[in-house]
Each structure stands twice: as C-alpha cells, then as structure tokens.
Amino acid sequence: MSLISAKNIDFSHGGQRVLQGVSLSLEPGEIVTIVGPNGSGKSTMLRLLIGALKPQKGSVTRKPGLRVGYVPQKLYIDPTLPITVERFLNLPHRVAAKDAAAALETAGVPGVGQRQMSQLSGGQFQRVLLARAILGKPDVLMLDEATQGLDQPGSASFYRQIESVRRDLGCAVLMVSHELHVVMSASDRVICLNGHVCCEGTPEVVSVAPAYRELFGTGTGGALALYRHEHDHGHDHDHDHHHPKHEAAE
C-alpha cells in the first residue's frame, strides 16, 4: 500500500482557491518531487500531507504508524531561545548521544553537536534539520524548499546528500522545489503542480511535456545536464562565521 495518498484535495485559503482536485500518492522508497511556480500550492500540499492543514474536500490517508521526517522550508529560531544542535536533535523525543552523532555524520555535519543553532551557516543549518528528520528512522522524508538561501553548489550538494540518505535508510522522499534543474534529475517521479496536477512522470517525460514547458518555458530543459555534471566542492562545510540569513528570515 502507498505510504501516503491524497485523493481529490480541494483547499482554499482566505477565499482563494489554492488547490483543486489534487490526487497524488507516494510509494515506499521512491523520490518524488513536486515542482511548480510560486503560489502554485506546493507547500500547502506538503502541509496537508503532514496534517498541519485540513482539506475542505477530499482526503489524505497515511499508512498507520507512518513515521514522517520533515525538513521545513525555513526555521526561524527566536534569538531569545538558546539551543544547542544536540538539544535540538532531542526534540520532541530523547535520542541516544551516539545516534545523534551518527545522524549528524549521515547528514554531512559531523561534530557540530555542541554548537548553538544560531551559529550555524545556512548549509549547516539545513543539514542539521535533515539530521533531525532522519533520527526518527522515517518511512518518508519530506522536504519543503529545503535549499532556500543556499547557493547553487550548496543546494546541489544538499540534494546529493538526500540521495545518499535515501540509499542508506531506504526511505521514500517527497520534495517540494522550484529549483527544477537541481532537483529533477535526482527524482524518480516529478509532479508538476499549479493549483492542480499539470503533468506527472519521470524527469525526462515531464521536462518535455507541453504543460510543463508552458509553466517554465523551454530554457530549463538543458539545465538538467547542469546538475549531472556538477562536482562536489563541499563549499559550505567549513564556514564558521555567523550567517545572517536566519535573523533576516522573519
């Protein structure tokens, strides 16, 4: 059975229809990416799937006992709240210190456990969010624009991390992004969303589909290759300085 499935979802917010008749499902182990322009309802769809929002029509079915690892779009930590990476990883449930260290290692940020969350660079911060998400041994990893604020090599390297996490854990991955060129080639299946499902299929199929080209133009077709030939620079691993992004985020 599918891990999560949504059937005929209608969702309106403030009188504005955001989603209409959207159905999708996620099978064990697959990487699915939802792409769409700004305001297309991508993040809303993800929130519906984790249960943070309730659809006005249609239904969301989660497999009983499903464990979801969620990596939010951005996380604003109020400057008045002191919290170390290690403490953050222990929320909401306590984990063994060696599991926390292993998760940081898997996520590509070994040894940052004692740092304050506010001292992390943008890339490190997102990897700590990823580490927290995989600590719960999730059946499905959900990422909402998880690379916002990272530069292009940074986000490419982040997505490669996701692929390696999927290999290690065997979990399904559901991502939302507007960075088509970076995410699409990493996906088994792409769902193109703009209030409704425009088209769906493998990256190769979607990138030549007329509905997709209408939304994003043809220029991005060649960008698929960009990701494939990128090399791992590891740029954002060693930045120690305070990153202003999170203070500016709200």
Name the site residues for other proteins (rule: CB under 8 A): 47, 50-52, 68-70, 72, 75, 77-78, 80-84, 87-88, 91-93, 116, 136, 142, 144
What's the closest the beta carbon of residue 172 comes to other proteins, in angstroms?
14
What's the closest the beta carbon of residue 52 comes to other proteins, in angstroms?
4
Q: Is residue 188 a contact partner of residue 31, using CB atoms and an 8 Å limit? A: yes
d(CA 30, CA 3): 10
Distance, C-alpha 146 to centroid of its chain: 5
Based on CB atoms, which residue is closest to other proteins, 142 or 215? Answer: 142
Based on CB atoms, which residue is closest to other proteins, 102 or 249? Answer: 249
DSSP 156-167: HHHHHHHHHHHH
Based on CB atoms, which residue is closest to other proteins, 84 or 152? Answer: 84
Based on CB atoms, which residue is closest to other proteins, 51 or 170? Answer: 51
Residue 82's CB: how many other CB atoms inside 10 A?
A: 10
What's the closest the beta carbon of residue 81 comes to other proteins, in angstroms?
5
Based on CB atoms, which residue is closest to other proteins, 51 or 222? Answer: 51
β-strand partners of 7: 59
42: Cα within 13 Å, side-chain hemisphere? 28
β-strand partners of 116: 84
What's the closest the beta carbon of residue 154 comes to other proteins, in angstroms?
22
What's the closest the beta carbon of residue 167 comes to other proteins, in angstroms?
22
Residue 147's CB: how many other CB atoms inside 10 A?
A: 25
